[in-house]
């Protein structure tokens, strides 16, 4: 995927407006550089003046070792896929010390199970803020942002199953255009499901040496006010919620 440098800079700026990033923050390079999450980990930390701790592969593969690193290095910003977070939560229940400095846990790549968030809050404490995201490499890592408030998490904890907000992926970042369209290409109405189509600052240039696939997935589509703009057709489905947020609904295929 051909992602220009300006897209990465735009992504970090857009996220910085959503997160309370500080020069004293400590991040981890927890993911392989072949996974686009690492682009945010590297440049989000360095461009905000933070410290980046490179996590050895053996440490990342062990929930207990990862938990010790988060604690010993006083990590404040941690990016993780929800299935890995579940194992960390279980390890925290048996740990002698927990990462109390952690300010943000940022989820991506999978659906969040709020029961794991509840278990973390019961074990580690309530000072950590949890963010759900939707992202794709073709749109430069992140497209949407959803901060779960304490009030929402408390309500979810009281709900049967505790997973009331598991699939809420929020709203687009500043500079990103996120639309959910039907088969006719028109935006769906609240409550309806359609394909996620992305435009704006994060859309990649296309696929390297694959012009046919680029033309199929990155079409020029009409925009309000006239004219056209390059979009990315994700193949993912979402439902538009009455409050303007979006709920992930799986793949179209």
- Distance between CA 68 and CA 47 in Å, rounded? 26
**Strand ranges of the sheet holding 104-107, from the earlier edge strand across to the other edge:** 51-54, 26-29, 77-80, 104-107, 129-134, 144-148, 168-172, 246-251, 232-240, 193-200, 176-181
Q: Give the pLDDT mean for 68-77.
A: 98
Q: How many CB atoms lie within 10 A of CB 56?
A: 10
At residue 223, the pLDDT reads: 82
* pLDDT-above-70 percentage for the chain: 95
Q: Is the pLDDT of residue 102 over 90?
A: yes
Token pair of 246, please?
A: 């979006």
Contact 240, 188 (CB under 8 A): yes
H-type helices in the chain, by residue range?
Answer: 5-18, 37-47, 57-60, 63-72, 82-94, 114-123, 150-158, 211-217
Tens-place pLDDT, residues 161-201: 555 455 688 899 999 999 999 988 888 999 899 999 999 99
- What pLDDT was estimated at residue 159? 55
Listed as own residue / partner, the contacts of 177-184 with beta carbons closer than 8 Å and 24 or more positions apart are 178/143, 178/144, 178/246, 179/231, 180/238, 180/239, 180/240, 180/246
Looking at residue 184, its pLDDT comes to: 86
pLDDT-derived band of residue 49, with 50, 70 and 90 as boundaries?
Answer: very high
Closest listed residue to residue 134, CA positions, set 42, 48, 207, 234? 234
199: Cα separation from own chain's centroid = 17
Note the pLDDT tens digit of each residue in 132-170.
Answer: 999 999 999 999 999 988 888 877 665 555 554 556 888
Mean of all residue pLDDT scores within the chain: 92
Cα dihedral 53/59/63/68 (nearest 10): -60
pTM over 0.85: yes
% pLDDT > 90, the chain: 72
Tokens of 205: 């240039």
Phi, psi of 71 (to 5 degrees): -75, -50
CATH (one of 3.40.630.10, 3.40.50.12780, 1.20.1260.10, 3.40.50.2020) for 5-172: 3.40.50.12780
Contact between 231 and 197 under an 8 Å Cβ cutoff? The reply is yes
Task: Decide which of 224 and 252 is more confident.
Answer: 252
Specify the CATH class of 176-251 in words.
mainly beta
Query: What is the reported pLDDT for 161?
Result: 53
Domain boundaries, the chain: 5-172, 176-251
- 191-232 pLDDT, tens digit each: 899 999 999 999 999 999 999 999 999 999 888 788 889 999
């Amino acid at each position: 995927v051909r992602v220009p440098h300006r897209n990465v800079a735009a992504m970090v700026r857009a996220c910085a407006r959503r997160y309370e990033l500080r020069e004293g923050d400590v991040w981890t390079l927890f993911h392989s550089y072949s996974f686009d999450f690492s682009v945010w980990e590297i440049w989000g930390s360095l461009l905000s003046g933070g410290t980046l701790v490179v996590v050895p592969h053996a440490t990342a593969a062990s929930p207990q070792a990862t938990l010790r690193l988060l604690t010993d290095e006083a990590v404040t910003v941690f990016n993780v896929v929800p299935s890995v977070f579940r194992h960390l939560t279980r390890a925290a229940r048996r740990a002698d010390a927990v990462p109390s400095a952690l300010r943000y846990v940022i989820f991506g790549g999978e659906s969040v199970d709020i029961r794991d968030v509840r278990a973390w809050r019961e074990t580690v404490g309530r000072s950590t803020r949890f963010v759900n995201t939707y992202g794709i490499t073709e749109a430069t890592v992140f497209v949407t942002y959803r901060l779960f408030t304490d009030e929402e998490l408390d309500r979810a904890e009281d709900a049967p199953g505790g997973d009331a907000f598991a699939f809420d992926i929020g709203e687009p970042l500043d500079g990103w255009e996120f639309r959910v369209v039907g088969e006719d290409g028109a935006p769906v109405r609240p409550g309806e499901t359609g394909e996620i189509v992305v435009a704006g600052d994060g859309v990649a240039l296309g696929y390297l040496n694959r012009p046919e696939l680029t033309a199929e997935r990155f079409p020029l589509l009409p925009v309000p006010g006239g004219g056209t703009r390059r979009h990315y057709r994700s193949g993912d489905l979402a439902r538009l919620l009455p409050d303007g947020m979006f709920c992930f609904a799986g793949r179209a295929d």
